[in-house]
A = this chain, B = another copy of it.
Amino acid sequence: MTDGTALATSARVGAAMAPEEARPGAGRQAMNAALQPTLAELSRPGRGGGKVPHPPADALARIPASALRSAPLALPELNEPEVVRHFVNLSHLNYSVDSGFYPLGSCTMKFNPKLNEWAARLPGFATLHPLAPDELAQGTLELMHELQEALAEISGMAAVTLQPAAGAQGELTGILMIRAYHAARGDVARTEVIVPDSSHGTNPATASMAGFRTVTVPSAADGGVDLAALKDALGPHTAAVMLTNPSTLGLFERRIVELLDAVHEAGALAYMDGANMNAVLGRFRPGAAGFDVMHFNLHKTFSTPHGGGGPGAGPVACNERLAPFLPAPLVVKAAPGSYRLERPEERASAIGRVRAYQGNVGVLVRAFAYIRAHGASGLREISDDAVLAANYLRQRVGQGYELPYAGPCKHEFVASGRALRQATGVRTLDVAKRLIDHGFHPPTIYFPLIVDECLLIEPTETESVETLDLFAEALLAILTEAHDHPERVKSAPTSAPVRRLDEASAARKPELRWRPMTGAGTPCPT
């Protein structure tokens, strides 16, 4: 439980976190990000108010007492200046793409264009009600239709739904479509979904949610799928194979043609996890290559902001075979130049909705803007630059770290700190934490699970070559530090707002909220 008293009742805002000598005041430590009290600790009865007019006294007179709260709602009471300072100062505790290099593999932390933030906030887009009749929604419908078409073109697929709210939900959508497809054919024995051992955790989790048993196949020595093992696993029980391509090792599946043939021969369908499309825009179209269905991560490939964990959007594209099963409603053309949502009865074979309304439309606006800004040539250039940057950085990092797989890589690459650990006892975790002191966000670590002491590094196309060089130099410098001053690396970070955390006790005795507040029985501020 939050020890609110110490902080709050002493009114020594932030005092518990004082660095040496200087005690931060309400002004916090001048320039270096300092930890902050919680809203509850900042609250004082009677503060705040003034945002909305007061209601008439009898506003709730018709509500039966039994339906009403028995105790007044207790929330923090703050005035706007405190609210602003709180969040501004909290924001200073975050590392972000807007402040530095964020080479988090598998996440495609590229620059989020500021035009797109502006566009999504245009009142016409922002205030449109999701159940507004089509005639009031023509602008957004046109945008969504154009986006559906663009994603169909990029994927080489026949049809697209924009409904899924994230990649994982796209997966669920696609797998449920596959289930519906087999069911429609009476092919009900297909109860398994095959995933490679390098797959993203959402793939097996999705298969489970969709009611399938997950079968895992190992990777070959070259990082690709072990085709023989896959063929062994395939059979009349296989509903689908889920393949991330390029994979989470940053590798394109070289045996893709043979692989897809095998899948289809077994009567199964091929799902492509398209989260890594940033590597192959205009170079590889999954539908044209034979995949049946895939999802996009708009929040990766098309640069919609990650938002500290979301929102995203995970549109699903599929071929003609699966199109009847896409969840409704799609956006369709009505009269020339006008658009409408499909009516519920229009595609009876559609699987049910996967979320309410039309999806994360605000995210779609940003992705649309991104695609239109780049056009065909620009999208290809994105992938070219992302892959070039990854290979360049790979080579530089390879000057000190093991590279378990041969190149070229695609948008990202894995390196391993195994040798370093053997030589010095310094783990990849330590290297990552030490990068923080060097001014960088660490890459993804210990993922994929199949690489020992793994670092998964994705520079994206929006980082300059100067930045790549500096990052590589930092990683190499840490090697030296690990040999010369291993404790320094093991005790990193020291320049962050906090040092390493006690995650074990957090999980053992979870404190998931501040101590319940009382009150707000205070008179309403006027």
* Interface segment out of the listed A89-97, A136-144, A511-519: A89-97
Docked pose: A32 CA to B98 CA in angstroms: 15
Interface size class of A (residues with CB under 8 A): 35 or more
* A34 CB contacts on chain B under 8 angstroms: 439
A493 CB within 8 Å of chain B: yes
Interface majority SS on A: helix, strand, loop or mixed? Answer: loop
Interface segment, A245-253, A270-278, A341-349, A463-471?
A463-471
A31 interface contact, C-beta 8 A: yes
Most buried by B among A30, A89, A473: A30
Is A336 part of the contact surface with B, judged by Cβ < 8 Å? Answer: no
Contact residue among B33, B95, B100 (Cβ-Cβ distance under 8 Å from A26): B100
Interface flag for A427 (CB, 8 Å): no
**Of A15-23, A281-289, A325-333, which stretch is located at the interface?**
A15-23
Query: Would you call A81 an interface residue if the criterion is a C-beta within 8 Å of the partner chain's C-beta atoms?
Result: yes
> What's the minimum C-beta distance from A125 to chain B, rounded to whole angstroms?
15
In the complex where A113-B80, A495-B31 touch, is A471 in contact with B26 (Cβ < 8 A)?
A: yes
Q: Which residue of the partner chain B has the closest CB to A50?
A: B373
Docked Cα-Cα span, A97 to B113, in Å, equals 28
Distance between Cα atoms of A352 and B243 in the complex (Å): 76
**Given that A11-B469, A22-B495, A467-B13 are contacting pairs, would A99 and B28 also be in contact in the complex, using a CB cutoff of 8 Å?**
yes
Say yes or no for A44: interface residue by CB 8 A criterion: yes
Mark A163-183 against chain B: 1 for CB-CB distance below 8 A, else 0: 000000000000000000000
A462: CB under 8 A from chain B? yes
A404 CB to nearest chain B CB (Å) = 25
Say yes or no: is A339 at the interface (Cβ < 8 Å to chain B): no
Are A21 and B81 in contact, CB atoms less than 8 angstroms apart? no
Q: Is the pair A30, B92 in contact by a Cβ cutoff of 8 Å?
A: no
In the bound complex, do residue A470 and residue B12 qualify as a contact, i.e. CB atoms below 8 Å apart?
yes
> A488 CA to B85 CA in the complex, in Å?
29
Interface residues of chain A, those whose CB is within 8 Å of chain B, are 11-14, 19, 21-34, 44, 50, 79-82, 84-85, 88-89, 92-93, 95, 97-102, 111, 113-114, 373, 436-441, 462-464, 466-467, 469-471, 473-474, 477, 488, 493-497
Pairs A–B under 8 Å by Cβ, sample size 12? A11-B466, A11-B469, A24-B439, A25-B439, A27-B99, A27-B441, A29-B495, A31-B497, A44-B464, A82-B464, A84-B98, A84-B111
